[in-house]
Structure 1
Amino acid sequence: MKRENPNKSKGNMETGGVRAKKHLGQHFLKDEAIAEKIGDTLTLEGYKNVLEIGPGMGVLTKYLIQKDIEVIAMDLDTESIAYLEANYPEKNLKIVEADFLKFDLSQLFGAEQFAITGNFPYNISTQIVFKMLEWKEQIPEFTGMFQKEVAQRICEKEGSKAYGILSVLAQAFYDAEYLFTVPPSVFNPPPKVDSGVLRLRRKENISLPCDEKMLYKVVKTAFQQRRKTLRNSLKSFNLSDKIKEDAIFDQRPEQLSVPQFIALTQKLENDAI
Protein backbone atom coordinates (compact mmCIF):
# COMPACT_ATOMS: atom_id res chain seq x y z
CA MET A 1 0.00 0.00 0.00
CA LYS A 2 1.39 3.35 -1.03
CA ARG A 3 0.56 6.81 0.17
CA GLU A 4 1.00 9.75 -2.15
CA ASN A 5 1.75 12.33 0.54
CA PRO A 6 3.58 10.71 3.48
CA ASN A 7 4.32 13.92 5.37
CA LYS A 8 0.70 14.66 6.25
CA SER A 9 -0.55 14.18 9.81
CA LYS A 10 -2.55 11.13 10.83
CA GLY A 11 -5.71 13.10 11.65
CA ASN A 12 -7.79 12.02 14.63
CA MET A 13 -7.22 8.28 14.38
CA GLU A 14 -7.79 7.95 18.12
CA THR A 15 -11.51 8.48 17.55
CA GLY A 16 -11.63 5.43 15.33
CA GLY A 17 -13.33 7.33 12.53
CA VAL A 18 -13.42 10.32 10.25
CA ARG A 19 -15.47 13.48 10.66
CA ALA A 20 -17.68 14.25 7.66
CA LYS A 21 -16.76 17.71 6.36
CA LYS A 22 -19.48 19.86 4.88
CA HIS A 23 -17.11 21.88 2.70
CA LEU A 24 -16.00 18.64 1.02
CA GLY A 25 -19.58 17.51 0.46
CA GLN A 26 -18.98 14.36 2.53
CA HIS A 27 -21.82 11.98 3.40
CA PHE A 28 -20.38 8.64 4.48
CA LEU A 29 -22.28 5.57 3.36
CA LYS A 30 -22.86 3.23 6.30
CA ASP A 31 -24.97 0.49 4.69
CA GLU A 32 -22.75 -2.49 3.84
CA ALA A 33 -25.30 -4.09 1.49
CA ILE A 34 -25.55 -0.95 -0.62
CA ALA A 35 -21.77 -0.56 -0.67
CA GLU A 36 -21.43 -4.11 -1.97
CA LYS A 37 -24.15 -3.45 -4.53
CA ILE A 38 -22.29 -0.37 -5.82
CA GLY A 39 -19.09 -2.41 -6.05
CA ASP A 40 -20.95 -4.95 -8.16
CA THR A 41 -22.02 -2.29 -10.68
CA LEU A 42 -18.56 -2.70 -12.22
CA THR A 43 -18.61 -5.32 -14.97
CA LEU A 44 -14.76 -5.61 -15.00
CA GLU A 45 -14.93 -6.09 -18.77
CA GLY A 46 -11.98 -4.65 -20.68
CA TYR A 47 -10.00 -3.37 -17.71
CA LYS A 48 -8.26 -4.51 -14.51
CA ASN A 49 -7.75 -1.13 -12.86
CA VAL A 50 -10.27 0.89 -10.83
CA LEU A 51 -10.07 4.41 -9.43
CA GLU A 52 -12.35 5.08 -6.46
CA ILE A 53 -13.05 8.77 -5.84
CA GLY A 54 -13.87 9.88 -2.28
CA PRO A 55 -13.47 6.57 -0.38
CA GLY A 56 -14.07 8.14 3.04
CA MET A 57 -13.72 5.29 5.56
CA GLY A 58 -13.56 2.60 2.92
CA VAL A 59 -17.05 1.10 3.07
CA LEU A 60 -16.98 0.65 -0.73
CA THR A 61 -13.22 0.14 -0.90
CA LYS A 62 -13.42 -3.10 1.11
CA TYR A 63 -15.62 -4.68 -1.59
CA LEU A 64 -13.50 -3.39 -4.47
CA ILE A 65 -10.27 -4.88 -3.12
CA GLN A 66 -11.91 -8.30 -2.85
CA LYS A 67 -12.05 -8.39 -6.65
CA ASP A 68 -9.18 -9.43 -8.92
CA ILE A 69 -8.28 -5.85 -9.80
CA GLU A 70 -5.86 -3.08 -8.91
CA VAL A 71 -7.53 -0.29 -6.94
CA ILE A 72 -6.49 3.30 -6.35
CA ALA A 73 -8.48 5.15 -3.68
CA MET A 74 -8.18 8.92 -4.07
CA ASP A 75 -9.31 11.40 -1.45
CA LEU A 76 -8.61 15.03 -0.64
CA ASP A 77 -9.32 14.55 3.08
CA THR A 78 -6.24 13.92 5.23
CA GLU A 79 -8.32 12.14 7.90
CA SER A 80 -9.76 9.74 5.35
CA ILE A 81 -6.31 8.99 3.98
CA ALA A 82 -4.98 8.22 7.46
CA TYR A 83 -7.96 5.99 8.27
CA LEU A 84 -7.57 4.02 5.04
CA GLU A 85 -3.85 3.56 5.62
CA ALA A 86 -4.46 2.21 9.09
CA ASN A 87 -7.27 -0.14 8.13
CA TYR A 88 -6.65 -1.34 4.56
CA PRO A 89 -3.14 -2.76 4.08
CA GLU A 90 -4.09 -4.87 1.02
CA LYS A 91 -1.45 -5.19 -1.70
CA ASN A 92 -3.88 -4.42 -4.53
CA LEU A 93 -4.78 -1.04 -3.00
CA LYS A 94 -2.88 2.20 -3.48
CA ILE A 95 -4.01 5.25 -1.52
CA VAL A 96 -3.52 8.68 -3.09
CA GLU A 97 -4.12 11.97 -1.34
CA ALA A 98 -5.12 14.36 -4.11
CA ASP A 99 -7.86 16.47 -5.66
CA PHE A 100 -9.32 14.44 -8.53
CA LEU A 101 -10.32 17.54 -10.47
CA LYS A 102 -6.72 18.85 -10.48
CA PHE A 103 -4.88 15.53 -10.75
CA ASP A 104 -3.10 14.33 -13.90
CA LEU A 105 -4.77 10.94 -14.37
CA SER A 106 -1.92 9.68 -16.57
CA GLN A 107 0.06 9.24 -13.34
CA LEU A 108 -2.33 6.56 -12.06
CA PHE A 109 -2.31 3.65 -14.51
CA GLY A 110 -0.10 4.92 -17.33
CA ALA A 111 -1.74 4.18 -20.68
CA GLU A 112 -3.84 1.29 -19.33
CA GLN A 113 -7.61 1.27 -19.29
CA PHE A 114 -9.33 1.94 -15.96
CA ALA A 115 -12.83 2.35 -14.54
CA ILE A 116 -14.01 5.02 -12.12
CA THR A 117 -16.45 4.47 -9.26
CA GLY A 118 -17.33 6.04 -5.93
CA ASN A 119 -19.80 7.71 -3.65
CA PHE A 120 -19.19 11.06 -5.28
CA PRO A 121 -19.29 14.33 -3.31
CA TYR A 122 -22.44 16.13 -4.44
CA ASN A 123 -20.74 19.50 -4.73
CA ILE A 124 -18.35 18.36 -7.50
CA SER A 125 -20.22 15.44 -9.05
CA THR A 126 -20.98 17.06 -12.42
CA GLN A 127 -17.36 18.30 -12.64
CA ILE A 128 -16.23 14.71 -12.09
CA VAL A 129 -18.27 13.60 -15.10
CA PHE A 130 -16.89 16.35 -17.34
CA LYS A 131 -13.32 15.46 -16.37
CA MET A 132 -14.05 11.76 -16.95
CA LEU A 133 -15.18 12.64 -20.49
CA GLU A 134 -11.78 14.25 -21.13
CA TRP A 135 -10.22 10.84 -20.43
CA LYS A 136 -12.85 8.70 -22.17
CA GLU A 137 -10.28 6.92 -24.37
CA GLN A 138 -8.92 5.29 -21.18
CA ILE A 139 -12.17 4.88 -19.26
CA PRO A 140 -14.44 2.12 -20.59
CA GLU A 141 -16.74 2.21 -17.58
CA PHE A 142 -17.90 4.73 -14.98
CA THR A 143 -20.24 3.87 -12.13
CA GLY A 144 -21.17 5.47 -8.84
CA MET A 145 -23.55 7.41 -6.66
CA PHE A 146 -24.79 10.95 -7.26
CA GLN A 147 -27.60 13.10 -6.00
CA LYS A 148 -30.62 11.34 -7.52
CA GLU A 149 -31.66 14.17 -9.82
CA VAL A 150 -28.11 14.45 -11.21
CA ALA A 151 -27.90 10.70 -11.89
CA GLN A 152 -31.29 10.84 -13.61
CA ARG A 153 -30.25 13.86 -15.67
CA ILE A 154 -27.14 12.09 -16.94
CA CYS A 155 -29.22 9.09 -18.04
CA GLU A 156 -32.26 11.04 -19.31
CA LYS A 157 -33.46 10.87 -22.91
CA GLU A 158 -34.75 13.68 -25.12
CA GLY A 159 -38.22 15.05 -24.49
CA SER A 160 -37.73 15.55 -20.76
CA LYS A 161 -37.12 18.76 -18.83
CA ALA A 162 -34.30 16.95 -17.03
CA TYR A 163 -32.55 16.30 -20.36
CA GLY A 164 -29.67 18.72 -20.82
CA ILE A 165 -26.00 19.37 -21.46
CA LEU A 166 -24.77 16.55 -19.22
CA SER A 167 -27.21 14.08 -20.77
CA VAL A 168 -26.12 14.78 -24.36
CA LEU A 169 -22.37 14.93 -23.80
CA ALA A 170 -22.23 11.80 -21.63
CA GLN A 171 -24.46 9.82 -23.97
CA ALA A 172 -22.50 10.89 -27.05
CA PHE A 173 -19.76 8.53 -25.86
CA TYR A 174 -21.38 6.22 -23.27
CA ASP A 175 -24.49 4.09 -22.87
CA ALA A 176 -26.12 5.40 -19.69
CA GLU A 177 -28.16 3.33 -17.26
CA TYR A 178 -29.84 4.48 -14.04
CA LEU A 179 -29.52 1.49 -11.69
CA PHE A 180 -31.15 2.16 -8.31
CA THR A 181 -32.12 4.79 -5.75
CA VAL A 182 -30.56 5.12 -2.29
CA PRO A 183 -32.39 6.82 0.64
CA PRO A 184 -30.78 9.47 2.89
CA SER A 185 -31.02 7.22 5.98
CA VAL A 186 -28.04 5.07 4.95
CA PHE A 187 -25.58 7.96 5.19
CA ASN A 188 -23.84 9.72 8.05
CA PRO A 189 -24.74 12.54 8.09
CA PRO A 190 -27.88 11.94 6.01
CA PRO A 191 -28.24 14.27 2.99
CA LYS A 192 -31.51 16.10 2.42
CA VAL A 193 -32.19 14.28 -0.86
CA ASP A 194 -32.23 10.77 -2.31
CA SER A 195 -29.17 9.46 -4.12
CA GLY A 196 -29.00 7.52 -7.36
CA VAL A 197 -26.51 5.00 -8.73
CA LEU A 198 -25.73 4.83 -12.44
CA ARG A 199 -23.47 3.04 -14.89
CA LEU A 200 -21.90 4.48 -18.03
CA ARG A 201 -20.38 1.99 -20.47
CA ARG A 202 -18.30 3.38 -23.31
CA LYS A 203 -19.67 2.81 -26.77
CA GLU A 204 -17.69 0.57 -29.10
CA ASN A 205 -17.05 3.44 -31.47
CA ILE A 206 -16.71 6.85 -29.84
CA SER A 207 -15.26 8.66 -32.85
CA LEU A 208 -17.62 11.42 -33.95
CA PRO A 209 -18.44 12.50 -37.52
CA CYS A 210 -18.09 16.09 -36.29
CA ASP A 211 -15.59 18.14 -34.33
CA GLU A 212 -15.88 17.28 -30.63
CA LYS A 213 -15.22 20.82 -29.39
CA MET A 214 -17.83 22.10 -31.81
CA LEU A 215 -20.37 19.59 -30.45
CA TYR A 216 -19.70 20.80 -26.89
CA LYS A 217 -20.15 24.41 -28.01
CA VAL A 218 -23.40 23.69 -29.85
CA VAL A 219 -24.92 21.71 -26.96
CA LYS A 220 -23.95 24.23 -24.29
CA THR A 221 -25.12 27.22 -26.34
CA ALA A 222 -28.45 25.57 -27.18
CA PHE A 223 -29.29 24.63 -23.60
CA GLN A 224 -28.31 28.02 -22.19
CA GLN A 225 -31.57 29.22 -23.74
CA ARG A 226 -33.47 25.97 -23.68
CA ARG A 227 -36.91 27.55 -24.01
CA LYS A 228 -36.04 29.10 -27.35
CA THR A 229 -35.99 27.35 -30.71
CA LEU A 230 -32.56 26.48 -32.04
CA ARG A 231 -32.97 29.17 -34.70
CA ASN A 232 -32.89 31.75 -31.92
CA SER A 233 -30.58 30.11 -29.36
CA LEU A 234 -27.86 29.45 -31.95
CA LYS A 235 -27.81 32.95 -33.47
CA SER A 236 -24.22 33.41 -32.35
CA PHE A 237 -23.16 30.84 -34.97
CA ASN A 238 -24.08 33.35 -37.71
CA LEU A 239 -26.47 30.98 -39.47
CA SER A 240 -26.90 31.44 -43.18
CA ASP A 241 -30.37 32.09 -44.59
CA LYS A 242 -30.25 28.71 -46.28
CA ILE A 243 -29.52 26.66 -43.14
CA LYS A 244 -32.17 28.57 -41.18
CA GLU A 245 -34.76 26.94 -43.45
CA ASP A 246 -33.89 23.48 -42.08
CA ALA A 247 -36.78 22.15 -39.98
CA ILE A 248 -34.41 21.13 -37.19
CA PHE A 249 -34.10 24.81 -36.22
CA ASP A 250 -37.82 24.92 -35.38
CA GLN A 251 -37.16 22.61 -32.43
CA ARG A 252 -36.01 23.31 -28.90
CA PRO A 253 -32.84 21.66 -27.60
CA GLU A 254 -34.61 19.19 -25.30
CA GLN A 255 -36.41 17.74 -28.35
CA LEU A 256 -33.19 16.63 -30.06
CA SER A 257 -31.70 13.19 -29.51
CA VAL A 258 -27.94 12.76 -29.17
CA PRO A 259 -27.57 11.62 -32.83
CA GLN A 260 -29.59 14.67 -33.88
CA PHE A 261 -27.25 16.98 -31.95
CA ILE A 262 -24.32 15.37 -33.74
CA ALA A 263 -26.08 15.84 -37.09
CA LEU A 264 -26.86 19.45 -36.17
CA THR A 265 -23.18 20.06 -35.42
CA GLN A 266 -22.27 18.66 -38.83
CA LYS A 267 -24.78 21.01 -40.48
CA LEU A 268 -23.27 24.00 -38.69
CA GLU A 269 -19.75 22.96 -39.65
CA ASN A 270 -20.77 22.66 -43.30
CA ASP A 271 -22.60 25.98 -43.15
CA ALA A 272 -19.47 27.72 -41.90
CA ILE A 273 -17.35 26.47 -44.83
Structure 2
Amino acid sequence: MYTLKKSLGQHFLRDENICRKIVSALQEYPFDRLLEVGPGGGALTKYLLELEGIDFKAVELDMEKVEYLERTYPSIKGKLIHRSFLEIDPPFDQPFTVVGNFPYNISTQILFKVLDWGEQVEAVIGMFQKEVAQRVAAASGNKVYGVMSVLVQAFYRVEYLFDVPPGCFNPPPKVMSGVIRLLPRKDIPVMRSRKAFTLLVKTAFNQRRKTLRNAVRGLFPPEILADEFFNQRAEQLTVEQFAELTFKMNG
Protein backbone atom coordinates (compact mmCIF):
# COMPACT_ATOMS: atom_id res chain seq x y z
CA MET A 1 0.00 0.00 0.00
CA TYR A 2 1.41 3.39 1.02
CA THR A 3 2.29 5.39 4.11
CA LEU A 4 0.48 8.47 5.37
CA LYS A 5 2.62 11.56 5.81
CA LYS A 6 1.56 13.99 8.52
CA SER A 7 4.01 16.58 7.19
CA LEU A 8 1.90 16.78 3.99
CA GLY A 9 -1.39 17.08 5.88
CA GLN A 10 -2.56 13.76 4.47
CA HIS A 11 -6.01 12.56 5.54
CA PHE A 12 -7.26 10.25 2.83
CA LEU A 13 -10.92 9.95 2.02
CA ARG A 14 -12.20 6.40 2.31
CA ASP A 15 -15.98 6.87 2.29
CA GLU A 16 -17.30 5.85 -1.14
CA ASN A 17 -20.61 7.65 -0.57
CA ILE A 18 -18.81 10.98 0.02
CA CYS A 19 -16.68 10.39 -3.10
CA ARG A 20 -19.83 9.84 -5.16
CA LYS A 21 -21.46 12.97 -3.67
CA ILE A 22 -18.43 15.07 -4.68
CA VAL A 23 -18.45 13.65 -8.23
CA SER A 24 -22.19 14.24 -8.47
CA ALA A 25 -21.78 17.89 -7.36
CA LEU A 26 -18.97 18.25 -9.88
CA GLN A 27 -21.18 17.09 -12.73
CA GLU A 28 -23.94 19.62 -12.01
CA TYR A 29 -21.99 22.13 -14.11
CA PRO A 30 -20.47 20.95 -17.41
CA PHE A 31 -16.70 21.06 -17.92
CA ASP A 32 -14.16 19.69 -20.42
CA ARG A 33 -10.92 19.91 -18.42
CA LEU A 34 -10.38 18.83 -14.82
CA LEU A 35 -7.48 19.16 -12.41
CA GLU A 36 -7.49 17.09 -9.21
CA VAL A 37 -5.32 18.47 -6.40
CA GLY A 38 -3.71 15.89 -4.11
CA PRO A 39 -5.22 12.59 -5.36
CA GLY A 40 -3.39 10.72 -2.58
CA GLY A 41 -4.64 7.12 -2.44
CA GLY A 42 -7.02 7.67 -5.36
CA ALA A 43 -10.39 7.43 -3.55
CA LEU A 44 -11.82 10.24 -5.67
CA THR A 45 -9.47 9.73 -8.63
CA LYS A 46 -10.92 6.35 -9.58
CA TYR A 47 -14.31 8.01 -10.17
CA LEU A 48 -12.80 10.98 -12.01
CA LEU A 49 -10.92 8.70 -14.41
CA GLU A 50 -14.28 7.16 -15.41
CA LEU A 51 -15.72 10.50 -16.58
CA GLU A 52 -16.02 10.34 -20.35
CA GLY A 53 -14.76 13.00 -22.72
CA ILE A 54 -12.82 14.87 -20.00
CA ASP A 55 -9.21 15.99 -20.27
CA PHE A 56 -8.07 14.95 -16.76
CA LYS A 57 -4.86 15.77 -14.89
CA ALA A 58 -3.86 15.39 -11.24
CA VAL A 59 -1.10 17.09 -9.27
CA GLU A 60 0.59 15.13 -6.45
CA LEU A 61 3.70 16.09 -4.50
CA ASP A 62 4.36 12.73 -2.83
CA MET A 63 6.36 10.39 -5.11
CA GLU A 64 5.18 7.32 -3.19
CA LYS A 65 1.55 8.24 -4.01
CA VAL A 66 2.44 8.91 -7.67
CA GLU A 67 3.90 5.40 -7.97
CA TYR A 68 0.95 3.87 -6.10
CA LEU A 69 -1.59 5.60 -8.36
CA GLU A 70 0.23 4.53 -11.54
CA ARG A 71 0.31 0.91 -10.32
CA THR A 72 -3.31 0.87 -9.16
CA TYR A 73 -4.91 2.94 -11.95
CA PRO A 74 -2.83 2.38 -15.12
CA SER A 75 -5.04 4.81 -17.11
CA ILE A 76 -3.63 7.69 -15.04
CA LYS A 77 -0.18 7.36 -16.62
CA GLY A 78 0.80 10.58 -18.37
CA LYS A 79 -1.84 12.55 -16.47
CA LEU A 80 0.03 13.00 -13.18
CA ILE A 81 2.04 16.12 -12.40
CA HIS A 82 4.60 15.27 -9.70
CA ARG A 83 4.95 18.70 -8.10
CA SER A 84 3.48 20.94 -5.44
CA PHE A 85 0.21 22.50 -6.59
CA LEU A 86 1.48 25.84 -5.22
CA GLU A 87 4.37 25.84 -7.70
CA ILE A 88 2.72 24.81 -10.97
CA ASP A 89 1.47 26.94 -13.84
CA PRO A 90 -2.07 26.35 -15.11
CA PRO A 91 -1.95 22.82 -16.60
CA PHE A 92 -4.39 23.64 -19.42
CA ASP A 93 -4.49 26.40 -22.05
CA GLN A 94 -8.26 26.76 -21.75
CA PRO A 95 -10.61 27.14 -18.74
CA PHE A 96 -10.68 24.20 -16.35
CA THR A 97 -12.33 22.96 -13.15
CA VAL A 98 -10.41 22.20 -9.94
CA VAL A 99 -11.43 19.44 -7.53
CA GLY A 100 -9.82 17.87 -4.50
CA ASN A 101 -9.70 16.76 -0.91
CA PHE A 102 -7.27 19.59 -0.27
CA PRO A 103 -4.33 19.02 2.11
CA TYR A 104 -5.39 20.92 5.22
CA ASN A 105 -2.02 22.53 5.85
CA ILE A 106 -2.08 24.43 2.52
CA SER A 107 -5.82 24.75 1.84
CA THR A 108 -5.98 28.55 2.12
CA GLN A 109 -2.86 28.87 -0.06
CA ILE A 110 -4.63 26.71 -2.65
CA LEU A 111 -7.48 29.22 -2.74
CA PHE A 112 -5.08 32.15 -3.15
CA LYS A 113 -3.45 30.28 -6.04
CA VAL A 114 -6.87 29.75 -7.66
CA LEU A 115 -7.53 33.50 -7.31
CA ASP A 116 -4.19 34.21 -9.02
CA TRP A 117 -5.23 32.04 -11.96
CA GLY A 118 -8.36 34.17 -12.32
CA GLU A 119 -10.72 33.45 -15.20
CA GLN A 120 -8.91 30.27 -16.19
CA VAL A 121 -10.64 28.46 -13.30
CA GLU A 122 -14.30 27.98 -14.16
CA ALA A 123 -15.27 26.10 -10.98
CA VAL A 124 -13.80 24.64 -7.80
CA ILE A 125 -15.19 21.85 -5.65
CA GLY A 126 -13.00 21.35 -2.64
CA MET A 127 -12.94 19.71 0.76
CA PHE A 128 -11.54 21.81 3.59
CA GLN A 129 -11.53 21.80 7.36
CA LYS A 130 -15.10 22.83 8.17
CA GLU A 131 -14.01 26.10 9.83
CA VAL A 132 -12.06 27.10 6.69
CA ALA A 133 -15.00 26.17 4.44
CA GLN A 134 -17.34 28.21 6.65
CA ARG A 135 -14.96 31.17 6.59
CA VAL A 136 -14.85 31.16 2.77
CA ALA A 137 -18.66 31.03 2.60
CA ALA A 138 -19.40 33.50 5.46
CA ALA A 139 -21.52 36.60 4.84
CA SER A 140 -20.67 40.08 6.13
CA GLY A 141 -21.57 40.57 9.80
CA ASN A 142 -20.60 36.98 10.63
CA LYS A 143 -17.79 36.65 13.18
CA VAL A 144 -15.79 34.31 10.88
CA TYR A 145 -16.15 36.65 7.87
CA GLY A 146 -12.66 37.84 7.01
CA VAL A 147 -9.94 38.31 4.39
CA MET A 148 -10.53 34.96 2.71
CA SER A 149 -14.32 35.46 2.60
CA VAL A 150 -14.03 38.86 0.89
CA LEU A 151 -11.23 38.02 -1.56
CA VAL A 152 -12.90 34.82 -2.75
CA GLN A 153 -16.47 36.19 -2.83
CA ALA A 154 -15.41 39.18 -4.93
CA PHE A 155 -14.76 36.79 -7.81
CA TYR A 156 -16.69 33.62 -6.99
CA ARG A 157 -20.13 32.63 -5.79
CA VAL A 158 -19.57 30.29 -2.84
CA GLU A 159 -21.91 27.44 -1.89
CA TYR A 160 -21.43 25.33 1.23
CA LEU A 161 -22.49 21.87 0.01
CA PHE A 162 -22.18 19.40 2.90
CA ASP A 163 -20.29 18.31 6.04
CA VAL A 164 -17.90 15.36 6.08
CA PRO A 165 -17.34 13.68 9.48
CA PRO A 166 -13.85 12.60 10.65
CA GLY A 167 -14.71 8.89 10.31
CA CYS A 168 -14.81 9.25 6.51
CA PHE A 169 -11.00 9.60 6.46
CA ASN A 170 -7.91 7.56 7.19
CA PRO A 171 -6.52 8.66 9.58
CA PRO A 172 -9.55 10.54 10.98
CA PRO A 173 -8.72 14.24 11.44
CA LYS A 174 -9.57 15.85 14.78
CA VAL A 175 -12.04 18.21 13.07
CA MET A 176 -15.11 18.13 10.85
CA SER A 177 -14.61 18.81 7.16
CA GLY A 178 -16.82 20.60 4.65
CA VAL A 179 -17.19 20.62 0.88
CA ILE A 180 -17.76 23.93 -0.91
CA ARG A 181 -18.27 24.92 -4.53
CA LEU A 182 -16.93 28.09 -6.15
CA LEU A 183 -18.44 29.35 -9.40
CA PRO A 184 -17.21 32.54 -11.13
CA ARG A 185 -19.35 35.63 -10.55
CA LYS A 186 -20.79 37.25 -13.65
CA ASP A 187 -21.09 40.53 -11.72
CA ILE A 188 -17.59 41.05 -10.30
CA PRO A 189 -17.71 44.34 -8.35
CA VAL A 190 -15.98 47.28 -10.02
CA MET A 191 -12.75 48.11 -8.18
CA ARG A 192 -9.75 50.35 -8.82
CA SER A 193 -7.53 47.27 -9.18
CA ARG A 194 -7.21 43.81 -7.68
CA LYS A 195 -4.00 44.97 -6.03
CA ALA A 196 -5.70 47.94 -4.30
CA PHE A 197 -8.67 45.75 -3.31
CA THR A 198 -6.43 43.05 -1.79
CA LEU A 199 -4.36 45.63 0.10
CA LEU A 200 -7.48 47.30 1.52
CA VAL A 201 -9.11 44.03 2.62
CA LYS A 202 -5.96 42.66 4.27
CA THR A 203 -5.26 45.96 6.04
CA ALA A 204 -8.86 46.33 7.26
CA PHE A 205 -8.96 42.85 8.79
CA ASN A 206 -5.44 42.97 10.17
CA GLN A 207 -6.84 44.89 13.14
CA ARG A 208 -10.43 43.73 12.92
CA ARG A 209 -11.38 44.89 16.44
CA LYS A 210 -10.57 48.48 15.60
CA THR A 211 -12.88 50.77 13.67
CA LEU A 212 -12.19 50.91 9.97
CA ARG A 213 -10.86 54.44 10.44
CA ASN A 214 -8.07 53.25 12.73
CA ALA A 215 -7.36 50.05 10.83
CA VAL A 216 -6.88 51.63 7.39
CA ARG A 217 -5.64 55.07 8.44
CA GLY A 218 -2.60 55.01 6.17
CA LEU A 219 -4.56 54.20 3.01
CA PHE A 220 -6.94 57.18 2.78
CA PRO A 221 -6.74 61.00 2.88
CA PRO A 222 -7.88 62.50 6.26
CA GLU A 223 -10.97 64.15 4.73
CA ILE A 224 -12.22 60.76 3.49
CA LEU A 225 -11.55 59.10 6.86
CA ALA A 226 -13.70 61.77 8.59
CA ASP A 227 -16.82 60.20 7.06
CA GLU A 228 -19.06 58.34 9.55
CA PHE A 229 -18.83 55.31 7.28
CA PHE A 230 -15.41 54.62 8.83
CA ASN A 231 -16.96 54.16 12.30
CA GLN A 232 -17.78 50.59 11.24
CA ARG A 233 -15.58 47.54 11.65
CA ALA A 234 -14.22 45.51 8.74
CA GLU A 235 -16.62 42.57 9.18
CA GLN A 236 -19.63 44.88 8.73
CA LEU A 237 -18.68 45.80 5.15
CA THR A 238 -19.93 43.87 2.16
CA VAL A 239 -17.63 42.78 -0.67
CA GLU A 240 -19.18 45.51 -2.85
CA GLN A 241 -18.47 48.21 -0.25
CA PHE A 242 -14.81 47.19 -0.08
CA ALA A 243 -14.61 47.39 -3.88
CA GLU A 244 -16.24 50.82 -3.92
CA LEU A 245 -13.84 52.12 -1.25
CA THR A 246 -10.80 51.36 -3.42
CA PHE A 247 -11.62 54.43 -5.53
CA LYS A 248 -11.22 56.69 -2.50
CA MET A 249 -7.79 55.35 -1.49
CA ASN A 250 -4.63 57.40 -1.78
CA GLY A 251 -3.38 57.50 -5.37
Range into which the TM-score falls when normalised by the shorter chain: over 0.9
Q: Give the structure 2 partner of residue 166 of structure 1.
A: 148
Closer, same or farther: CA 91–188 of 1 in aligned 2, 3 Å: closer
Aligned to 2:129: 147
Structure 2 Cα separation of the partners of residues 249 and 216 of structure 1: 18
Task: Report whether the alignment pairs 1:21 with 2:16.
Answer: no
Matched, 1:102 2:87: yes
Which of 61, 76, 82 lines up with 2:61 in the alignment?
76
Q: For 1:235 and 1:115, how far apart are their aligned partners in 2?
A: 39
2:175 to 179, 186, 193: 193
Closer/same/farther in 2, CA of residues 117 and 93 from structure 1, 3 Å limit: farther
The 5 A counterparts of 1:4-83 are 17-43=1-27, 45=29, 47-68=31-52, 69-83=54-68
Q: What is the rounded CA distance, in whole Å, between the counterparts of 2:189 and 2:42 in structure 1?
A: 36
Q: Structure 2-normalised TM-score?
A: 0.95
Deviates more, 1:40-49 or 1:181-190: 40-49
SS in 2 for 1:210: coil
**Secondary structure at the residue paired with 1:40?**
helix
Aligned residue pairs total 250
Is the partner of 1:109 in helix, strand or coil?
A: coil
What is the one-letter code of the residue matched to 1:49?
A: R
Contact 2:192 2:247 survives alignment (8 Å): yes
Structure-1 residue corresponding to 2:216: 234
Within the alignment, does 1:245 sit opposite 2:226 as a pair? yes
SS in 2 for 1:166: helix
Cα deviation code 1:132-185 (max 9, x no counterpart): 000021001011100000000000000011000000000000000111000101
Moved more, 240-249 or 40-49: 40-49
Q: CA RMSD in A?
A: 1.6
Deviation of the 1:210 alpha carbon: 1.9
Matched, 1:202 2:184: yes
Residues 32-77 of structure 1 show CA distances to partners (whole Å, capped at 9, x for unaligned) of: 1101111222246463111101101111011112223121111101
Q: Which moved more, 1:187-196 or 1:208-217?
A: 208-217
Please give the secondary structure, in 2, of the residue aligned with 1:143: strand
1:7 paired residue number: none
